[in-house]
């Protein structure tokens, strides 16, 4: 089966109320928050000279999942959990088990060529010269792609990008952090399929279970059949704390993983998990090396879905700043939902639209705002139901003062000043809010609830 390639960051979606996960458009106007004074005709509040330090939802709603997990419903049956885990393993290891790429290479190659047809801005806020993009495309050597089909593995956290280059491409001069070449972070020990190398040999074009993109060549290595068999059949340990410390048998620090990284378990020790991780071996092939992870930083995979584990994973994610395409090793909205479900053995694709369409979702597109909330309360299952609007994905957490609350990672809220200028109120992290976050501001594009169009309860059947 051929799937649409992961090109969330290349195809621009319509920006609505909250600037968040998948390819929004942006204006060039920035606004400072906190105690920085704004023009007195710009914002009408009891103290019009200042913007609030936080939106009201964040001030009122406890930013701790323990408030919402007391009545958590476990997965209905062990069979449902087992089916979800089988699906997870099938998807996770698909770069090794499928004989050919499962994503659309032709579409991906054309997408890269089309980048040269657009005006872009660089990190210095100036227009990028077309010649520079042509040089990068030349190094991509697209006429030869794919030039190989080799199972591989990530030996370190690495960013997957739209072209073999670290320089950003922004849609406007003030478009930070929305680098349209930034796709995702590939986790250490993650299976990949190596399809091509740039003509310099510095970059590798790879397929992961959720998409296609370029990574630094030294961060992925080929794997032989015996190593594939070991990893696909082993009991696993999953990281439950961002930037966990891993040390080899000589005490050397290894690349630090974030929540969701998986390692084959060798044995359990009193204070540690003894695991195996991929490292460079002979002739630039990957091999496995034993290392130790503190028990507080990882658990056996998959985690049981209960109040304790959901609270722990969710509260860890609440510490995360917003990071488009996981820039700076932070998270955007769909990375947060994916990493939330991953430790429980529940598979999700990487971008918001594909996450909603990963199962038989319920459409809310033509409902009124009250009816949307009513249906979500009736059919939503806390911490199992994802809530979608174009370009953004959220996790339903339950009720606060009778209103649905969602956990989501978001960048900014758009509002208008009295002079009619559109501004951004920055949130910039993972938060718990209602679907009308920022309602107290003069919103320029409505609330999340205005634009919510579907829900899906996981694990999907």
Q: Give per-residue pLDDT as tens, 26-63.
A: 222 222 233 232 333 344 434 444 678 899 999 999 99
Q: Is residue 86 scored above 50 in pLDDT?
A: yes
Whether the per-residue pLDDT at 79 is higher than 80: the answer is yes
Of 244, 269, 301, which residue constitutes the final position of a domain?
Answer: 301
Is 315 found in the same domain as 270? no
pLDDT at site 52: 81
pLDDT band at 22 (very low <50, low <70, confident <90, very high): low
What is the reported pLDDT for 131? Answer: 97
Domain boundary pick from 273, 301, 329: 301
For the chain, what percent of residues have pLDDT higher than 90? 85
Asked whether residue 79 is assigned to any structural domain, the reply reads no
Count of structural domains, the chain: 3
Q: Average of pLDDT values for 213-227?
A: 98
Residues 181 and 102 grouped into a single domain: yes
Residue 7, pLDDT > 70, answer no
Judge whether 10 lies within some domain.
no
pTM score, whole prediction: 0.91
CATH code assigned at 144: 2.30.30.40
Confidence tier at 231 by pLDDT (50, 70, 90): very high
What is the per-residue pLDDT for 393?
A: 98
Examine residue 6 and state whether it is found in any structural domain, yes or no: no
Same domain, 318 and 443: yes
Q: How confident is the model at residue 461 (pLDDT cuts 50, 70, 90)?
A: confident
The pLDDT value given to residue 20? 55
Based on the fold, state whether residues 346 and 281 are members of the same structural domain. Answer: no
| pLDDT, position 261 | 98
* Domain of residue 144, residue span: 92-226
Asked whether residue 222 falls in the same domain as residue 322, the answer is no
- Is residue 85 in some structural domain? no
**Mean pLDDT score, 162-172:** 98
Instruction: State the average pLDDT over residues 185-211.
Output: 98
Whether residue 392 is found in the same domain as residue 264:
no
- Does residue 17 have a pLDDT over 70? no
pLDDT of 68 > 60? The answer is yes
Question: How high does pLDDT run on average in the chain?
Answer: 90
Residues 69 and 209 in one domain: no
Tell me: do 99 and 203 sit in the same domain: yes
Is there a single domain that holds both residue 358 and residue 380? yes
pLDDT at 419: 86
Per-residue pLDDT at 361 exceeds 70: yes
- Write the CATH number for 426: 3.90.1720.10
Quick check: is 444 in a domain?
Answer: yes
Instruction: Give the model's pLDDT for residue 51.
Output: 73
The reported pLDDT for the residue numbered 19 is: 55
One domain for residues 204 and 155:
yes
Region 183-187 average pLDDT: 98
Structure confidence by residue, pLDDT tens digits, 122-156: 999 999 999 999 999 999 999 999 999 999 999 99
| Domain-terminating residue out of 278, 301, 324 | 301
User: What local confidence, expressed as pLDDT, does residue 71 receive?
Assistant: 87
264 confidence band (pLDDT: 50, 70, 90): very high
Amino acid 277: pLDDT: 97
> Does a structural domain hold residue 131?
yes
Of the ranges 74-78, 158-162, 339-343, 406-410, which one carries the lowest mean pLDDT score?
A: 74-78
Q: Are residues 111 and 189 in the same domain?
A: yes
- Same domain? For 282 and 207 the reply is no
Cβ-contact 353, 442 below 8 angstroms: no
Considering Cα of 275, then 261, then 80, then 207, what sign does the dihedral take? Answer: negative
Domain assignment of residue 261, yes or no: yes
Mean pLDDT is lowest, of 12-21, 179-188, 442-451, for 12-21
Please indicate, yes or no, if residue 370 is contained in any of the structural domains.
yes
């Amino acid at each position: 089966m051929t799937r649409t390639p992961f090109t969330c960051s290349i195809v621009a979606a319509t920006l609505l109320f909250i600037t968040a996960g998948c390819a929004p458009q942006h204006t060039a106007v920035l606004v400072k928050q906190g105690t920085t004074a704004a023009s007195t005709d710009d914002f009408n509040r009891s103290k019009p000279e200042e913007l609030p330090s936080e939106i009201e939802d964040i001030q009122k709603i406890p930013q701790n999942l323990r408030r919402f997990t007391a009545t958590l419903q476990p997965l209905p049956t062990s069979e449902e959990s087992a089916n979800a885990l089988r699906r997870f393993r099938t998807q996770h290891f698909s770069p090794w088990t499928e004989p050919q790429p499962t994503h659309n290479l032709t579409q991906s190659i054309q997408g890269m060529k089309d980048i040269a047809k657009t005006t872009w801005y660089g990190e210095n806020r100036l227009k990028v010269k077309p010649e520079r993009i042509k040089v990068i495309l030349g190094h991509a050597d697209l006429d030869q792609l794919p030039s190989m089909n080799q199972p591989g593995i990530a030996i370190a956290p690495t960013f997957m990008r739209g072209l073999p280059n670290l320089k950003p491409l922004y849609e406007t001069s003030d478009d930070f952090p929305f680098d349209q070449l930034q796709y995702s972070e590939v986790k250490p020990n993650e299976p990949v399929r190596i399809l091509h190398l740039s003509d310099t040999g510095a970059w590798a074009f790879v397929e992961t279970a959720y998409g296609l993109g370029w990574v630094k060549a030294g961060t992925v290595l080929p794997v032989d059949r015996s190593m594939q068999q070991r990893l696909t059949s082993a009991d696993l340990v999953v990281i439950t704390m961002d930037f966990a410390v891993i040390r080899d048998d000589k005490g050397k620090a290894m690349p630090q993983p974030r929540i969701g990284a998986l390692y084959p378990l060798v044995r359990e020790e009193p204070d540690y998990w003894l695991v195996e991780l991929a490292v460079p071996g002979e002739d630039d092939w990957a091999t496995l090396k034993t290392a130790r992870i503190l028990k507080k930083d990882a658990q056996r995979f998959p985690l049981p879905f209960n109040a304790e584990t959901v609270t722990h994973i969710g509260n860890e994610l609440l510490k995360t700043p917003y990071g488009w395409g996981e820039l700076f090793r932070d998270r955007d909205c769909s990375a947060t939902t994916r990493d939330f479900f991953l430790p429980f053995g529940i598979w999700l694709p990487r971008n918001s639209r594909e996450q909603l369409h990963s199962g038989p979702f319920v459409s809310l597109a033509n409902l009124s705002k009250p009816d949307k909330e009513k249906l979500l309360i009736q059919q939503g299952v806390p911490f199992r139901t994802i809530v979608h609007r174009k370009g953004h994905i959220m996790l339903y957490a339950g009720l606060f003062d009778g209103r649905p609350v969602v956990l989501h990672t978001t960048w900014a809220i758009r509002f208008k000043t009295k002079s009619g200028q559109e501004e951004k109120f920055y949130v910039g992290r993972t938060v718990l809010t209602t679907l009308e976050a920022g309602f107290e501001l003069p919103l320029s594009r409505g609330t999340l609830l205005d634009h919510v169009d579907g829900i899906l309860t996981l694990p999907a059947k």
